[in-house]
Structure 1
Amino acid sequence: MNSPAAPARRPRRRPEWAGRNYTLLTAAAVVTNLGSHGALIAAAFAVLQFGGDAGDVGLVAAARTLPLVLFLLIGGAVADRLPRHRVMVAANALNCVSQAVFAVLVLAGEPQLWHMMLLSALGGTGQAFFNPAAEGMLMSSVSGEQVSRAFALFRMAMHGAAIGGAALGGALIAALGPGWVLAVDAAAFAVAGALRGFLDVSHIRPRKPGGGLLSDLREGWQEVKGRPWLWAVVAQFSVVVAVVGAAESVYGPLVARDELGGAGPWGVALAAFGVGTLGGAVLMMRWKPRRLLFAGTLCVFPLAAPSAALAVPLPVAWLAVVMLLSGVAIEVFGVSWMTALHQEIPEDKLSRVSAYDWFGSVAMLPLATALAGPAEGLFGRRESLWGCAALVVLVTAAVLFVSDVRNLTRRTKQVAGAAATPSADAEGAVGRLG
């Protein structure tokens, strides 16, 4: 008698590296990005709808950025001290409530400028605690040789949702008004918080009791200071993000208005950048550069190109090409950077290191945007744009003199990696260089 045939193995619906936590994190990130990118536009239009001017829009934006800068380091220490998914859910709850109140005030027709500034500040505070916890949680949710592919797919999903959210938000603002877009964002935070509540943290070793918040912050700083590749790139991006942000948020719209035909062409250029980030993420799903940071840092040089293109200025079609290529380049860096952090940083310090990384990236941005106008008056717009491009090139070239940046090598096999084992690298080794 023939033995019964073995049942056919059911095909996996997702790859091995896309586990339950990773899937929940990606789904929640898509939901929040769909809501928040439309809400950023809606907040600006809400200010204008109730009699505000460009200066008032800037105040509301600054009110969101300031607490983000002030509380980031504390948020990182808290996320390494408490279960990260609880920090994420609490931050989402704060964002949900602040956006819901913002929406109610706008729909009721009663918002004052200070109301909008306060609610935006609460939103920025939520993000300050959420960002380090989210990055630490994401890095602890993946392992193996496919971590770069996992980070690339995550970033691709985020960028796609951001592009779709901005487009959808603009359409809803035109059809229904900014209040309803803010309400949708509040609902998105509620849904995303619920998803993040199902994250499983049983694989993360319990944190040892620390000596307090200041001690945690010092430990995080020692982790950064002891790794030349880490502090060098953080310092580099404090300048890069500042000058690129000033060029694109201040000079870009002015060049578009005066020389390119208005907001439409500038929107095309920004959309091309978004498409480029998607293309870069697709590229990094397949490409695994051996020298992670060397490849990533070389791809920071193209971020000087948009400022140079605006300084000329190039025709819209060529500007869009430049923006697309810079979008591809920044994704190569972004995935390489996340892979390096995952590989080299102990799991129990991921959020604190991420907080210092975020802080370095955003700390100088408000100052740079504030100085963009005076710089234009003192040097001229074209000269200021060339200065932005030159600064990107100079600080990126300087980072390449750091040997660890040139030589940090991807591990070809999963070992007792830093992100998987809290004690790995505890003796202060910078990592496997070669």
Structure 2
Amino acid sequence: MPRPPSRNYALLSSAAVISQLGSQGALIASAFAVLSAGGTAGGVGLVATARTVPMVLFVLVGGALADRVPRHRVMVAANALNCVSQGTFGLLVLSGHARLWQMVALSVLGGTGQALFGPANEGMLLSSVDPARAGRAFAVYRMAVNGATIGGAAAGGALVALWGPGSVLLLDSMSFLVAAALRAFLDLSHVPERAPGGGVLADLRDGWREFVSRPWLWSIVGQFSVVNAVVVAGQAVYGPLVADDHYGGAGPWGVANAAFGAGTLLGALAMTRWGPRRLLLAGTLGIFPFALPLMALAVPVSAALLTVAMFVAGASVEVFGVAWMTALHQEIPEEKLSRVSSYDWLGSMALVPVATALAGPAQGAFGRGQALWGAAGLVVLLTGAVLFVPDVRNIRRREGAVPGSDAAPVPEPVPEPGTSADAEGAVGRAG
């Protein structure tokens, strides 16, 4: 099968950077829009939840849809929905007559658009990379998006203060419009025509069979559903509280979060040069440092040590992220990428609202420090458990293999545990 033109990768990367710049500013703007309309912290949380819930409810539908119709059409339609919802949100705020129920409804539309977009985008990206350069391509992509995340948050805060939240929301709307225009030019000539299926439910069942048939896939998604939830709860709920009580306010916590962002950039940059042979082993080992910020907040350590912990965690998340994308690209058939990605997305998001909602009661029942130690313990325990899955330890990078094929790599002797060759597989080699 001919490989897709490199133009697809360039279009996807450019569109992702543009929309991420706008979306990060919009996250700040939406919170201040609620407050400027007379809302409270509860209203801010309600608007944020209204965006998250439809992402959980509709992400599987988005995955099935993206494997049924051309993915770029799903992406453009989802971007158009986000453009309209954010534009309407911004105009209401600028008019001075925005009400909470309107902001909640528009956030629901935005979350629905993101649910439809995510699996289609991931499937399109994974299918648009040459197998021989997959790891480096994914690392560069993530580095660009992480840079846009940092820049968008910084610019968004400044622009909200300068122009007000309504104008920033309109800018986000325009970023979705530009991104949709770029994605409309994606080339799908390399994607074989898909045979008509038996409907969305049949597609979801087929995707589920693909998902559960691979122990490495469902075990890591199950692990990450808990890890992601406790890390988000620890950093989003407990982090600001610890900063207020022990670090003198939001300033040091902001510096620590900036260090996390800097770590993601360095980690992605390192992964452009490092191609671990045992993809999932290297990626899973990169999960252990996720516990460091939780432990640092539990003590709590000095602000300087917390900043170092956040930097290390940020770098390690990129080791996992690039290895994970490369494994999906290599192991999953192209025509099922979006459906499999949708189960990955669902696992990553489903428990986050539950964990953040339980963070307060857990602090009341056990104390903040014990809750944070418990969260760190779950990260370490579940990550260690995943290492007992044979495929997690043994799946190796197949240079030049067709994604999803069963073509075996060049045979290599399997080293005994503890030998120098086994250590090399865990650490990887220069790419």
The CA distance in 2 between the partners of 1:167 and 1:17, in whole Å, is: 35
Cα deviation, residue 17, structure 1: 9.8
Query: 1:108 corresponds to which residue?
Result: 95
Cα RMSD between the aligned structures? 1.7
What runs of 5+ residues in structure 2 fail to find an aligned partner?
415-431
Q: Does 1:43 align with 2:30?
A: yes
Query: 1:183 corresponds to which residue?
Result: 170
The CA distance in 1 between the partners of 2:397 and 2:348, in whole Å, is: 24
What runs of 5+ residues in structure 1 fail to find an aligned partner?
1-15, 419-423
8 Å CA contact retained: 1:17, 1:150: no
Cα deviation, residue 416, structure 1: 3.0
Aligned partner of 1:308 among 284, 295, 298 = 295
Q: Does 1:33 align with 2:33?
A: no
Q: Deviations over 1:316-352 (max 9, x none)?
A: 1111111000000000000000000000000000000
Equivalent residues in 2 for 1:259-274 (5 A)? 259-274=246-261
Query: 1:408 corresponds to which residue?
Result: 395
Equivalenced residues, count? 411
The CA distance in 2 between the partners of 1:189 and 1:209, in whole Å, is: 31
Report the TM-score when normalising by structure 2.
0.93
Cα deviation, residue 415, structure 1: 2.7
Counterpart of 1:416, as a letter, is: V
Query: 2:143 corresponds to which residue?
Result: 156
Q: Deviations over 1:379-423 (max 9, x none)?
A: 000110101100000110110010110111111x313332xxxxx
Equivalent residues in 2 for 1:174-323 (5 A)? 174-323=161-310
Cα deviation, residue 219, structure 1: 0.6
Equivalent residues in 2 for 1:85-96 (5 A)? 85-96=72-83
8 Å CA contact retained: 1:345, 1:425: no
* Secondary structure, counterpart of 1:119 in structure 2: helix
8 Å CA contact retained: 2:52, 2:111: yes
The CA distance in 2 between the partners of 1:384 and 1:417, in whole Å, is: 42
* Secondary structure, counterpart of 1:81 in structure 2: coil
Cα deviation, residue 143, structure 1: 1.3
* Secondary structure, counterpart of 2:197 in structure 1: coil
8 Å CA contact retained: 1:17, 1:144: no
Cα deviation, residue 22, structure 1: 0.1
Residue identity over aligned pairs, in percent, reads 65
Residues 17 and 211 of structure 1: CA distance in aligned 2, closer, same or farther (over 3 Å): closer
Query: 1:71 corresponds to which residue?
Result: 58
Q: Does 1:376 align with 2:332?
A: no
* Secondary structure, counterpart of 1:183 in structure 2: helix
Counterpart of 2:11, as a letter, is: L
Report the TM-score when normalising by structure 1.
0.93
Q: Does 1:121 align with 2:108?
A: yes
The CA distance in 2 between the partners of 1:309 and 1:417, in whole Å, is: 40
Q: Deviations over 1:89-123 (max 9, x none)?
A: 00000000000000000000011111000001100
* Secondary structure, counterpart of 2:242 in structure 1: helix
8 Å CA contact retained: 1:18, 1:150: no
Query: 2:376 corresponds to which residue?
Result: 389
Cα deviation, residue 425, structure 1: 4.8
